[in-house]
Amino acid sequence: MPLRRIDIHMNKQEYTITVYTENHIGLLVRIATMFSRRKINIESLNTSPSEAEGIHRFTIVINEIEEVVQKLARQIEKQVEVLKAYYNNNDEIVWQELALYKVPTDEIAEKVKVERLLREHGARAVVIRKDYTIFETSGHREETDKLVEVLAPYGLIEFVRSARVAIIKNSKGFHEKLKEFDEAEPGEEVIENEFLDRREEVFTM
């Protein structure tokens, strides 16, 4: 049995860390300090409810080498209120970011070209007022960035983009796991030494 991890990635790349937690005041700081004390910049951070009732889900994006990400995930999972921490590269997840753009209404009303551009980028109007219109798109960063570029010449007034939200492609979700966690004597699913024998796979422990 291969006990040494073989194909650990040595180059920096984007990793998405997904953390399932209890809903506890102070946990955000506790998790954030895991990064700041190592001088690792958080590219994006999102907290939201998860598929499992009462369980929160942090989605954190960083740019690092796998070894660092793996150690971080272990440190995060060690925190008392954290149930699980997974990390994935971009091939292993489906992700989206939401972006909002505020543009002067007269510009779009007058310039047919703008409307076409917006349509090409899949933008949708959320608010239309006399003075401005707010569009929304979602997608990957490059896509939402592109539209900023495109709209700049037409007097883009405001732009904001949300943190990344991501779904792990081969995850079965947290419902079953949570049942195990609730047990005082958990089964292997939760407490096994998974991370030691499936090191090549998605990190979990």
Partner 1 sequence: MSTMEQVKTSKAPAPEVKPVKETRELSGSQAVLEACIAEKVDTVFGYPGGAIMPIYDALYDYNDQLKHILVRHEQGGIHAAQGYARSSGKVGVVFATSGPGATNLVTGLADAMIDSTPLVAITGQVFAHLLGTDAFQETDVINITTPVTKWNYQVTDATEIPSVLAKAFYIAKSGRPGPVLIDITKNAQIQKFPYSGYTKCNHIRSYRPKPIVRKEYIEEAAKLINEAQKPFVVFGQGVILGKAEKEFRAFVEKSGIPAAWTILGLSALPTDHPLNVGMLGMHGNYGPNLLTNECDVLIAVGMRFDDRVTGRLDKYARQAKLIHLDIDPSEIDKNVKTTVGVWGDCKETLPMLTKLVNARVYPQWVDRFRECDKEEIREVIQEELNPTTEIMTMGEVIRNMNEITGGNAIIVTDVGQHQMVACRYAKFNESKSNITSGGLGTMGFALPAAIGAKFGAPDRTVIAIIGDGGVQMTIQELGTIMQTGVDVKIMILNNEFLGMVRQWQQLFNDKRYSFVDIASPDFVMVAKGYGIEGQKVSKREDLRPALETMLKSKGSYLLEVMVGKENNVFPMVPQGCSVSEVRLK
For residue 126, the one-letter residue type is V
CB of 26 to partner 1, least distance (A): 6
CB of 112 to partner 1, least distance (A): 53
Site membership for partner 1, residue 11 (CB under 8 A): no
Strands (E), the chain: 13-21, 44-49, 56-64, 82-89, 93-104, 124-128, 132-139, 158-161, 165-168
Determine the Cα–Cα distance for residues 200 and 50; give it in Å rounded to an integer.
Answer: 26
Comparing C-alpha atoms, which of 176, 175, 190, 180 is closest to residue 54? Answer: 175
Site membership for partner 1, residue 2 (CB under 8 A): no
* Contact region with partner 1 (CB under 8 A), list: 10-18, 38-46, 76-84, 93-101: 76-84
Determine the Cα–Cα distance for residues 199 and 183; give it in Å rounded to an integer.
Answer: 26
Site membership for partner 1, residue 10 (CB under 8 A): no
DSSP-assigned states of every residue in 157-187: -EEEEPPPEEEETT---SHHHHHHHHSSS--
Name which of residues 175 to 194 contact partner 1 (CB under 8 A): 181-182, 184, 186, 188, 190-193
CB of 29 to partner 1, least distance (A): 5
Site membership for partner 1, residue 6 (CB under 8 A): no
Site membership for partner 1, residue 40 (CB under 8 A): no
**Which residues make up the interface to partner 1 (CB under 8 A)?**
1, 3-4, 21-22, 25-26, 29-30, 33, 37, 71, 74-75, 77-78, 80-83, 181-182, 184, 186, 188, 190-193, 195-197, 205
